[in-house]
Amino acid sequence: MALEIAEKDGVVELKGKVNAHNIGAILIFLQEKLLVEQNLKVDLSKVQQLDIKAALLLEELYRASNLTIKRTQFYGKDNACVMETLRFTKTAYILSESKS
């Protein structure tokens, strides 16, 4: 499945495969959103595949934005494939509990 990016109720939803081939475009999109928003919420619950490179770059975005007055939150603890990759890369800490 190709990657889909949608925004619903102020939450960016990623659906499909997030990998080394498309993470650059995703990061550019998310960084643009951070220019105008203080709090960026990203839902990973519909991601079908997350590779190691993508997980590490999402962590970089998380760390960089949280060092400023901006805040990035990722959701998707209920997604087994996302959790498997994040645990393997020791980056599962970037996931928040809920979207509220």
Show the domain range for 70.
Answer: 4-94
* 8 A C-beta contact, residue 5 and residue 29: yes
This prediction has a pTM of: 0.90
Average pLDDT over residues 4-13: 94
Do the domain assignments include residue 69? Answer: yes
Do the domain assignments include residue 39? Answer: yes
End-to-end CA distance of the chain: 28
pLDDT of 1 strictly over 80: no
pLDDT of 92 strictly over 80: yes
Do the domain assignments include residue 55? Answer: yes
Across the chain, mean pLDDT equals: 93
How many domains, the chain?
1
* Nearest-5° Cα angle at 51, 61 to 49: 110
pLDDT of 99 strictly over 90: no
Please report, for the domain that includes residue 79, its CATH number: 3.30.750.24
pLDDT of 89 strictly over 60: yes
